[in-house]
Amino acid sequence: MKKLSFRDGLRHGVPIGLGYLSVAFAFGIQAVALGLEPVQALLISMTNVTSAGQLAGISLMAAGASLMEMALTQLTINLRYALMSLSLSQKMDESMQTLQRMIFSFCNTDEIFAVAASQEGRLGKHYLYGLMIIPWIGWSLGTILGAAAGTLLPEFFRTALGIAIYGMFLAVIIPPSRKQKPVRVVVILAAVISVILKYTPGLRNIPSGYAIILCAVAASTVGALLFPVADEEEEGKEA
């Protein structure tokens, strides 16, 4: 089996980078609309590479949230990356030592993980580094272009383009929700809890960061109780 090279990684990362370009453009516009400077939006994207986490982060920054609230919110939103990294570590070869794993974990997004996990055989540092470069460039470039456009375009146009990032989230959750009942139930439950926290007297005073945490933890806990995943031993017995 041919070992995947740095060039293979670059080639596989191009579609991801192009997709990130448009989403990051919307993030850049949203960041400027919330009061950030273009260079600040760029630095956030260059050092984070997490769409949902960044959008939640700038919203909390604009609302004057505490550092603890921001930290807990980011932990809740981005915890999935740790699970993906643990899973992908089983496919890495001996070239991926601690330092190399730390570098790659910086840009191990949902899409990069999906592409890497779908490859056959072991994955080395050259392929994984190549895979992460184009998406990182696309995410950073899209952000600065969106931020620059946000300072030039009329306000009504900026508002319209800012909705694009929410469209991305819908595109992420709708397909699996249509196919899988557990996902559909958890998504609906999270939306219901969010509405309750937003409009119920007393609860509406909960900071937005903590509200996100409550929605995520409550919905996922109920989902785990209603739709437990059978372990391998039980599946073997049923078979």
Q: How far apart are CA 40 and CA 151, in angstroms?
A: 13
Domain that holds residue 102: 6-165
Indicate whether 144 and 189 sit together in one domain.
Answer: no
Indicate whether 82 and 161 sit together in one domain.
Answer: yes
**Residue 184 phi/psi, 5° resolution?**
-60, -45
Is 56 inside any structural domain?
Answer: yes
pLDDT digits (tens, 9 = 90+) for 199-217: 998 888 887 778 888 888 8
Indicate whether 206 and 153 sit together in one domain.
Answer: no
Indicate whether 70 and 135 sit together in one domain.
Answer: yes
* pLDDT for res 169: 66
Last residue of a domain, one of 114, 141, 165: 165
For the chain, what is the domain count? 2
Indicate whether 186 and 105 sit together in one domain.
Answer: no
Indicate whether 118 and 201 sit together in one domain.
Answer: no
Is 1 inside any structural domain?
Answer: no
Question: Is the torsion defined by CA of 163, 220, 57, 78 positive or negative?
Answer: negative
Indicate whether 158 and 185 sit together in one domain.
Answer: no
Last residue of a domain, one of 134, 165, 196: 165
Q: Which of 2-6, 52-56, 112-116, 135-139 has the highest mean pLDDT?
A: 135-139
* pLDDT for res 13: 94
pLDDT digits (tens, 9 = 90+) for 170-203: 766 787 788 888 889 988 998 999 999 889 988 8
Q: Average pLDDT in the 46-61 region?
A: 89
Predicted TM-score of the model (pTM): 0.74
Q: Average pLDDT in the 147-161 region?
A: 76
Indicate whether 137 and 213 sit together in one domain.
Answer: no
Q: Alpha helices, DSSP H only, in 123-229?
A: 125-152, 155-162, 164-179, 181-199, 208-226
pLDDT at 80 over 90: no
HSE of 234, CA atoms in CB hemisphere, 13 A: 4
Indicate whether 190 and 75 sit together in one domain.
Answer: no
Is 170 inside any structural domain?
Answer: no
* pLDDT > 90: percent of the chain: 37
Last residue of a domain, one of 165, 200, 222: 165
* pLDDT for res 232: 46
Is 101 inside any structural domain?
Answer: yes
Indicate whether 42 and 156 sit together in one domain.
Answer: yes
Mean pLDDT, the chain, as a whole number?
Answer: 86
Indicate whether 128 and 38 sit together in one domain.
Answer: yes
Q: How far apart are CA 42 and CA 147, in angstroms?
A: 8
pLDDT digits (tens, 9 = 90+) for 100-120: 999 999 999 988 998 998 898
Q: Compute CA distances 65 → 39, 74, 156, 176, 206, whole Å.
A: 21, 12, 27, 32, 11
Indicate whether 91 and 138 sit together in one domain.
Answer: yes
Is 70 inside any structural domain?
Answer: yes
